[in-house]
Amino acid sequence: MVFVLNPKVREEKIERFIHEWEQKGFSTILSVGTEHTADCLIGNTAAVDLDHVVQTNDIVAYGKRITEQYKAVNRTVHEDDTIVHVGNISIGEGFFTVISGPCSVESEEQILKIARSVKASGAKALRGGVFKPRSSPYAFQGKQAEGLEMLRMAKRETGLPIVSEIMNQTQIDLFEDVDIVQVGARNMQNFDLLKEVGKLKKPVLLKRGLANTIDELLMSAEYIVSAGNSQVILCERGIRTFETMTRNTFDLSAVVLLKQKTHLPVIADPSHASGIRSLVPPLAKAALAVGADGIMVETHNDPAQALSDGAQSLDLEQFSGLMDELRIRAAIEKKEM
């Protein structure tokens, strides 16, 4: 961390500033220039609040971090790609893993029909929400614990690992048989929940918040990894912008940047990113093209009747067609599907 000091500050003020840092266990290097003096802080600055230092020290003009605040998820600290293993499936560099299923689990018949079909089309894991974060309290809230039982049944029938969203830490025990625990966009900065899923011995799918920066997503992943769980999969699912024609704006550059900044697997969710069925296949192909390690796509046996997110759900035939196209492209990219 470097602090550039205001011009013409008195020497004793600089000495006091340096002394305060030394008392906190840091060493500093002072560089006196003709115009400006800079003080470089050496040590673990992860917990230093840069803005606070600038605002509370009148001798500091501004400050800049040299290294990122996230360490455990940082590629500079851990060069090799993390591959997350779930049963016999792998998620990470070299793979293009497709997770599919309905937005919400609705009935045994529905989830089984979808599970069998997406498996036959090549999906490697089954998604299905049972605790649903809905904007309206009057909208379908999910089948809750009963829905989890339906998901378990679909897992037994098909062998597909299951992915479902946890809404708060009191639900942890209910998720015992869930293979990948999803932390949704609205909970990306629920830090108590992040600490709890950090204690789990199973993968966590962390979705980017509706209005969160890439840096904030990485810091949320840092909560989970630093708590002891290194099996984190990041998911770009679109962010809120001024555009209203799509549900969200798909931030493809985030996929590329995340792959550069972190060793964790990065997948994309073209369904929530667009909200529009016809956009899902092209955006899925775009995700593969920019280097995503997989996608999560919503599918439904009868999208028009879906209890949530029908407008963005592919029907089972459309999903199968998309998988055929992705397979050709994944082979070109030398990614295993």
Site for ligand PEP, rule CB under 6 A: 103, 129, 133, 165, 184-186, 207, 237, 269, 272
Q: Which partner in Mn ion, ligand PEP, none is near 237 (CB below 5 to 8 A by kind)?
A: ligand PEP
Structure-block tokens of residue 221: 């992943």
Shortest distance (Å) from residue 249 CB to ligand PEP = 13
How many residues are listed for the chain in this entry? 337
Shortest distance (Å) from residue 29 CB to ligand PEP = 44
The β-bridge relationship of strands 89-91 and 60-64 is unpaired
Q: Is 103 in the site for Mn ion (CB under 5 A)?
A: yes
Number of residues engaging Mn ion in binding (CB under 5 A): 2
Q: Where does residue 194 rank: exposed (0-12), middle (13-18), buried (19+ CB within 10 A)?
A: buried
Q: Would you say 296 and 271 are in contact if contact means Cβ atoms under 8 Å apart?
A: yes
Which residues, other chains included, contact 5 with Cβ-Cβ below 8 Å and sequence gap of 6+?
Answer: 14, 17, 36, 37, 38, 39, 59, 60, 61
Shortest distance (Å) from residue 100 CB to ligand PEP = 11
Q: Which partner in ligand PEP, Mn ion, none is near 184 (CB below 5 to 8 A by kind)?
A: ligand PEP
Q: Between vectors from CA 272 to CA 222 and to CA 319, what angle results, nearest 5°?
A: 115
Q: Would you say 39 and 17 are in contact if contact means Cβ atoms under 8 Å apart?
A: yes
41 or 264: whose CB is closer to ligand PEP?
264
Q: Is 205 in the site for Mn ion (CB under 5 A)?
A: no
Quick one: which segment of 15-23, 47-55, 95-103, 156-164 binds Mn ion (CB under 5 A)?
Answer: 95-103
Distance of CA 58 to the CA centre of its chain: 38
**CB count in 10 Å sphere of residue 135:** 7
Q: Is 262 in a helix, a strand, or coil?
A: strand
Q: Which partner in ligand PEP, Mn ion, none is near 143 (CB below 5 to 8 A by kind)?
A: none
Map tokens 């998820």 to a residue.
Answer: 73
Shortest distance (Å) from residue 296 CB to ligand PEP = 7
CA distance 17 to 39: 9
Contact mark string toward Mn ion, 261..300, x via CB under 5 A = ----------------------------------------
184 or 203: whose CB is closer to ligand PEP?
184
5 or 264: whose CB is closer to ligand PEP?
264
Q: Which residue is nearest to ligand PEP (CB)?
A: 184
Shortest distance (Å) from residue 271 CB to Mn ion = 7
155 or 207: whose CB is closer to Mn ion?
207
185 or 288: whose CB is closer to ligand PEP?
185
Among 68, 205, 309, 316, binds Mn ion (CB under 5 A): 309
116 or 186: whose CB is closer to ligand PEP?
186
Q: Which partner in ligand PEP, Mn ion, none is near 207 (CB below 5 to 8 A by kind)?
A: ligand PEP
Shortest distance (Å) from residue 272 CB to ligand PEP = 4
Shortest distance (Å) from residue 62 CB to ligand PEP = 36
CA distance 150 to 299: 16
Closest CA relative to residue 216, chosen from 231, 244, 194: 194
Q: Is 225 in a helix, a strand, or coil?
A: helix
Per-residue b or e along 1-21, where b marks 16 or more CB atoms closer than 10 Å to that residue's CB: bebbbeeebeeeebeebbeeb
